[in-house]
Amino acid sequence: MPIIREAGEFIENIHLIDLNQYGMNNICSSYLLHYDNSTIIFDVGTSDDERKVRSYMKKQKIPLNSVKYLVPSHHHFDHAGGMWKILKKLEKHNPDIKILATSLEKDKIQNSEKPMKAAASTYSEWVGKMEPIDDEYFQVIEPDTTISLGETNPYSLSLVSSPGHTFDHVCPTVFRDGDPYFSYFGEAAGTLFNDRELKTLPTSMPTEFTYERYMKSVEKLKGLHAKNAGFCHFGAVTTEIDVATLIDDQLSFVPVFRDFVKTKFEEFHKTRPVVESTIRELFYERSSFHSAGGLSKVVQGISNRNALALVYGMLVDLGYKKNKY
């Protein structure tokens, strides 16, 4: 089955939104569930991206007053950074709107100064702004519990605990009549920067990446047996077989990546040559960005910064480097 990379309703009642992050297509996505005049939005991008969500809803004639929940996968700027801003916009249409999150997510989102400083050191002007959000706007639930989305609504929702990329990471999973209909993986099972093949990249970003937790979370998602899945970076797959294939790829590739980084750092004792070797020997054949010719300076710069962050986060977990923030 193809990798879904176009914005739109790709399975019944589930929409993919291209956030056009950093001014480019197919970098970061948001998803929404719309059923019976009730809408749930999963991630909204940065403070510069959130307007793309509202623009998409208007184009699809999805009422802004139908949004019941904003649901973050984790606190990073490129996923939850725009929550405060879209909340202000949507509250005008529905004063009862809530951010549905775990207590740890809430704490991370409300205390964003340190992670924003860390992000700015790599992504500079692209991080946008994160402003405080008052307690009253949160509805806190326990991870791995399921909540109903309405008496006549066949859908229910669980924030599946999936730490590793960050401590607070969850995979919002939509159940239909009790079956795992759609799981939004966020960055808990790698990224999908490939136009044609079911090949993933790791998400070993500093400052909270932990290898052991990450691998356990990927195994947990494998046991979920989701029928459909969405990646924040970037796209969705629509068969249980393809979901399982991507998870298995991540389970096999991340240990290879970890061993490669370890071996290269012990050879070079410097980060830069490890990053260059990683791009050349591992990432080229897995990423459309790295393998495509004639990349713009912006795209090349972002892909190289991503590679640096992935390598550095793994070096921290291996004990070769220390977190800077």
Q: Which domains does the chain have, with CATH numbers?
A: 8-251 (3.60.15.10)
Residues 150-193 pLDDT 10s: 877 899 999 999 999 999 999 999 999 999 999 999 999 999 99
User: Of 193, 165, 171, 167, whose CA–CA distance to 254 is shortest?
Assistant: 165
Mean local confidence (pLDDT), 211-228: 98
Residues 275-303 pLDDT 10s: 999 999 999 889 876 555 544 454 565 67
Burial class (CB in 10 A: 0-12, 13-18, 19+), 19: buried
Sequence-separated (6 or more) residues with CB below 8 Å from residue 258: 211, 314, 318
Mean local confidence (pLDDT), 228-236: 96
Mean local confidence (pLDDT), 61-90: 95
Per DSSP, the three-state class of 199 is coil
Mean local confidence (pLDDT), 23-36: 91
Element (H, E) at 180: strand 179-186
- Going by the DSSP 8-state scheme, the letter that residue 177 receives in this structure is T
Mean local confidence (pLDDT), 61-69: 97
CB-based contact 314:261 (threshold 8 Å): yes
Per DSSP, the three-state class of 165 is coil
Strands 67-71 and 38-42, sheet pairing: parallel
Q: Tell me how far CA of residue 242 lies from CA of 177, 181, 196, 214, 229, in angstroms.
A: 22, 14, 12, 20, 9
- CA 271, distance to chain mean position in Å, is 25
Sequence-separated (6 or more) residues with CB below 8 Å from residue 292: none
User: 1: pLDDT confidence band, cut at 50, 70 and 90?
Assistant: low
- The rounded distance, in Å, linking the Cα atoms of 214 and 195 is 25
For all residues of the chain together, what is the average pLDDT?
91
- The rounded distance, in Å, linking the Cα atoms of 281 and 311 is 13
Residue 70: the pLDDT is 98
- The rounded distance, in Å, linking the Cα atoms of 159 and 147 is 9
- The rounded distance, in Å, linking the Cα atoms of 150 and 38 is 9
User: Which has the higher per-residue pLDDT, 49 or 228?
Assistant: 228
Please state which of the ranges 71-75, 119-123, 237-241 shows the lowest mean pLDDT: 119-123
Per DSSP, the three-state class of 170 is strand
- The rounded distance, in Å, linking the Cα atoms of 42 and 23 is 20
Q: Could you tell me the strand order of the sheet in which 38-42 lies? A: 8-11, 14-18, 29-35, 38-42, 67-71, 98-101, 138-140
pTM of the model: 0.93
Decide if pLDDT at 271 tops 90: yes
- The rounded distance, in Å, linking the Cα atoms of 244 and 275 is 29
Please state which of the ranges 55-59, 108-112, 246-250 shows the lowest mean pLDDT: 108-112
Element (H, E) at 18: strand 14-18
Residue 86: the pLDDT is 96
CB-based contact 307:122 (threshold 8 Å): no
Which of 3-7, 114-118, 289-293 has the highest mean predicted lDDT (pLDDT)? 3-7
